[in-house]
Amino acid sequence: MAQPDDEPATVAGSTVVPLPTTLTLGVEEEFLLLDPTTGESMPVADRVLGALSGDAREQSRQEFRHSMVEMVTPVCTDLAQLREHLVALRAAAAGAAEAAGARLVAVGATPVCEAHRTVPDEQRYHAMSRRFGPVAHDPAVCGCHVHVGVPDRELAVQVCNHLRPWLPVVQALTANSPLHDGRDTGHASWRSMQLERWPSIGPTPHFASIADYDATVGELIAAGIMLDAAMVYWYARPSAAYPTVEIRVGDVCPTVDDTVLVAGLVRALVATMVDRVGAGVPAPTIRDCLVAAAHWRAAHDGVDGNLIDLHAGGARPAWDLVDDLLATVAPALTRHGDLDLVLRQLDRVRREGTGATRQRRIMAGTDGDVRAVLTHLATQTTAG
């Protein structure tokens, strides 16, 4: 997802693949298919995928639940282009869902219930079901994965080291799953809580090199913790399928504008860390237990409470850390031409709240009517 540039970066004294001034990006979005009346998950993914055609069919993917679909943008170079693809893919999937009697809803976790938890009839999914048992049959969850073009794997793993203290802030901004079993869980991202039972999901460990990364993944596969390298579900990773750094910490965003905001921030964050690696700046040394605690706090509070400052230590108001993130990546946002758009969208989220905040506001105003929340979410999913 990147093209060559004139200036090479270096890692540990060796030259790596040079990167462009503008890094490429792409987004994978997972959606739930819900019953318009009850809000329950509907096992109609096969019908929805079968009804797609053209580019939408090419950019769709089967997921781990019969009630989920995934839409994948092409490689993009700017946020306007990304936005066009997101709007078109969401509209196509929503139309196919409606034809199947369902609603396409951008929400991070199953809000009501999921009666059909069998996996699609694929060998790999059956193997995961056998290996991980009931964990593999939890209700569906939906994420937003942002890919940023970093084709050199050595550089990619060093960038992931630098990303560790910032990803809880990204997680908090994307929180969009407070509901489970028709009630508020008290967590802004129940998806994050639900996924913690998988042994290969969580904060990215610190790695000395790509050789260290590959050796560790090999050991985890040999130990049965994961089936293969594609089951590295850490919050940031050198992608197993693309020449990218993949950030997979966030809930699926309720609106296209929310997704574009997150994608712009993530690209700028990756670009900033590429610069730091090239300048020989070491990644901060942070204990894994503190990183895990910061992610738990982000999943619990979103941006409506406090987050853990992994640079200075201690808890601080979430929006103070969002401001720190913005200040850190502002030069990269400017370089990519994204600063004004990101500032506008962050101001909007300050006013309106995250997806979790918006859902709770509707719940409070409708005496806990989950159907009103889901109707709003379905409308927001395809709002252009």
Task: Reply yes or no on whether the pLDDT at 268 is more than 80.
Answer: yes
Distance CA 151, CA 243 (A): 4
CATH number of 10-381: 3.30.590.20
Quote the DSSP letter at residue 119. Answer: P
Structure confidence by residue, pLDDT tens digits, 312-356: 999 999 999 999 999 999 999 999 999 999 999 999 999 999 999
Give the pTM: 0.94
Out of 41-50, 83-92, 113-122, 152-161, pick the least confident. Answer: 113-122
Task: Reply yes or no on whether the pLDDT at 92 is more than 70.
Answer: yes
Q: Which amino acid is at 366?
A: T
| Mean pLDDT over each residue of the chain, to the nearest integer | 94
CB-based contacts of 79: which residues, under 8 Å, 6+ apart?
A: 260, 263, 264, 338, 341
Six-digit token string for 141: 């969850």
Q: What does residue 360 show for φ and ψ, rounded to 5 degrees?
A: -65, -35
**Which has more pLDDT, 150 or 3?**
150
Give percent of the chain above pLDDT 90. 92
The pLDDT-based confidence of 174 (bands split at 50, 70, 90) is very high
DSSP 25-79: EEEEEEEEEE-TTT--B---HHHHHHH--HHHHHTEEE-SSTTEEEEEPPPBSSH
Quote the DSSP letter at residue 362. Answer: H
**Closest residue by Cα to residue 191 from 146, 253, 261, 244:** 253
Six-digit token string for 197: 């039972």
Give percent of the chain above pLDDT 70. 95
Specify the pLDDT at position 281: 97
Q: Stretch 150-171: mean pLDDT, rounded?
A: 98
Q: Stretch 66-71: mean pLDDT, rounded?
A: 98
Specify the pLDDT at position 6: 39
- Asked if 35 contacts 111 with a C-beta cutoff of 8 angstroms, the reply is no
CB-based contacts of 129: which residues, under 8 Å, 6+ apart?
A: 119, 136, 137
- Asked if 160 contacts 206 with a C-beta cutoff of 8 angstroms, the reply is no
- Asked if 277 contacts 153 with a C-beta cutoff of 8 angstroms, the reply is no
Specify the pLDDT at position 21: 81
Specify the pLDDT at position 5: 39
Structure confidence by residue, pLDDT tens digits, 105-142: 999 999 999 998 989 989 999 999 999 999 999 999 99
The pLDDT-based confidence of 379 (bands split at 50, 70, 90) is very high
**Closest residue by Cα to residue 102 from 52, 58, 37, 54:** 37
DSSP 165-229: TTHHHHHHHT--B-EETTEE-S-SBHHHHHHTTSTTEESPPP-SSHHHHHHHHHHHHHTTS-SSG
Domain ranges of the chain: 10-381
Specify the pLDDT at position 20: 73
User: Residue 255, SS3?
Assistant: coil
Specify the pLDDT at position 64: 92
- Asked if 178 contacts 303 with a C-beta cutoff of 8 angstroms, the reply is no
Q: Stretch 232-245: mean pLDDT, rounded?
A: 96
CB-based contacts of 350: which residues, under 8 Å, 6+ apart?
A: 319
Structure confidence by residue, pLDDT tens digits, 201-216: 999 999 999 999 999 9
Specify the pLDDT at position 47: 97
Specify the pLDDT at position 19: 72
Structure confidence by residue, pLDDT tens digits, 17-31: 567 788 999 999 999
Distance CA 58, CA 49 (A): 10
**Closest residue by Cα to residue 82 from 338, 273, 351:** 338
